[in-house]
Amino acid sequence: MKNKKLVNKRNLWFERFMALIATVNLGLVSFNLTYIGWRNFYLRNLPQIQKTYDPIKGIEPHRETENYLKTVEELEQQISETGLTSRLSTIKLQELRELSVEMIENNPFAAASKSGTLEKIKNRMRERLDNESSKQAFMTFWSQEYLLKQGWNQEISFFNGKIKPLIASNYYRQIGENGEFIDKFWIIDLPFVLLFTIELFARTYYIKRRHPGFSWFNAILWHWYDIFLVLPFWRWLRIIPVLFRIEKAKLLNLSSLRHQIQQGIVANFAEEITQIVVIRVINQTQNSIKQGDLTRWLQQSQTLRPYVDINNINEIEALAGIFAQTVIYQVLPKIQPEIIAMLQHNINSAFNQSPIYSNFRNLPGIGQMQHQLSAQLATQIATNLYHALVSATEDPVSAKLSSQLVKRFSEALTDEIQKKQVISEIQSLLIDFLEEIKLNYVQRLSEEEVEQILEQTRNIQTEVTLPLLTDTNHRTKPGL
């Protein structure tokens, strides 16, 4: 017992260790997938991460924007040495004006999908110089007259604070021979993939030994979710095995989350699946009617269309017998007063409509006699009818005659229905009726609150499960 607990404890710690490794790997995958979108943040706040990870994504400084910033630094150095009005400073300012026009016309930000950054640079320059033309704004900004008037230190501080970070965020990303951007994340991911591959084969081998009847494929599918850990593509799907492993390692209880996900999936697809199933059944029924299956079914005799009986009982006759006995012995005695009242009313109406009775209606005592007579007649008719029905059900000869009557009625009805005019009309009405069900009833099914259906399903499952658990507890022997 102690050895088993020790083994279980070791297995739990191993599961936790592998779950943590899988979580770390998922974190690296997420970082890699979001790096391009967050690169500006790393550039401003964590430049060391940006410098280290840029080569992994095949990112290098863009020559045109890098040359632009380098020229600005050279201008700053030149002005600090010889001043703003020197000949060398004038040459650098002219060079910056030319580079600014080239940057606006060539848009070196487009290759990195950062054209919006160039628009932001142009807008800030327009606002700074109060000029609707971004080219003219740059030309004015990098002029001696403007810088002398506004002050070199103030304007270069504006550039370094508002414009330079935007230009510096541009980059060039290398493209491989396959036409895709270079991404060397596989170098980081490879040790994890190898580890998970070894673990997957080890688990598969262990399962194969415990269940010799399993094929290798079935053994691998036992932990199907681990396959996502070894795929070199669709790495974002690794969140599935990570969640499974975290719950299996008892690091987090994700049963409620799994329940909500399952409920969400069911809720999203239940409506569509319901419509598909119902409409498909209706369409198949309509096609069957159009193809004449109804006619062929009516025309086929019992010998040509053998019926498969599983219990040697004619269910239709049995149901009819149960229904008849319930009506005769249970229902009719309860509604006998209402039947008598209805018969008495009809007898009174017949008396009142009789021309002979109308001549004697005004005589004394005739009205009372009519009421008593109609009551007696109604009671006698209802009683005789009830006894006749009871005798018919208990008398074998009456039962046989009734069976023959039903059989003959069915045959006569089938013969009349098989007539071309009748069967065509029935087929047309059935097809239209099914179409109305599709347009009305199926639409109501789609409007049904799926959440309410799921809640009712859970309640039914709970009601079924609790008695089973209670019964199991009662049958469990004390002390075991």
Segment 339-356 mean pLDDT: 75
Between vectors from CA 168 to CA 163 and to CA 169, what angle results, nearest 5°? 105
d(CA 94, CA 100): 10
Indicate the residue type of 451: E
Give residue 7's pLDDT.
Answer: 56
CB 339 within 8 A of CB 379: no
pLDDT digits (tens, 9 = 90+) for 354-407: 665 555 555 565 566 667 777 887 788 878 877 777 776 777 776 677 667 766
Flag the least confident range among 81-90, 238-247, 265-274: 265-274
Tell which residue, 51, 164, 58, has the closest CA to residue 111.
58
CB 60 within 8 A of CB 171: yes
d(CA 141, CA 93): 9
For residue 81, pLDDT beyond 60: yes
DSSP string computed for 171-220: -EE-B-TTSSBP-THHHHHHHHHHHHHHHHHHHHHHHHHH-TTS-HHHHH
d(CA 146, CA 366): 129
d(CA 299, CA 423): 11
DSSP string computed for 299-337: HS-TTTS----SSS--HHHHHHHHHHHHIIIIIHHHHHH
For residue 11, pLDDT beyond 60: yes
The two tokens of residue 329 are 């012995």
The two tokens of residue 359 are 């001549």
For residue 418, pLDDT beyond 50: yes
pTM of the model: 0.55
Q: Mapping DSSP to helix (H, G, I), strand (E, B) and coil, where does residue 59 land?
A: strand
User: Which is more confidently placed, 406 or 324?
Assistant: 324
Between vectors from CA 352 to CA 347 and to CA 356, what angle results, nearest 5°? 110
Give residue 346's pLDDT.
Answer: 79
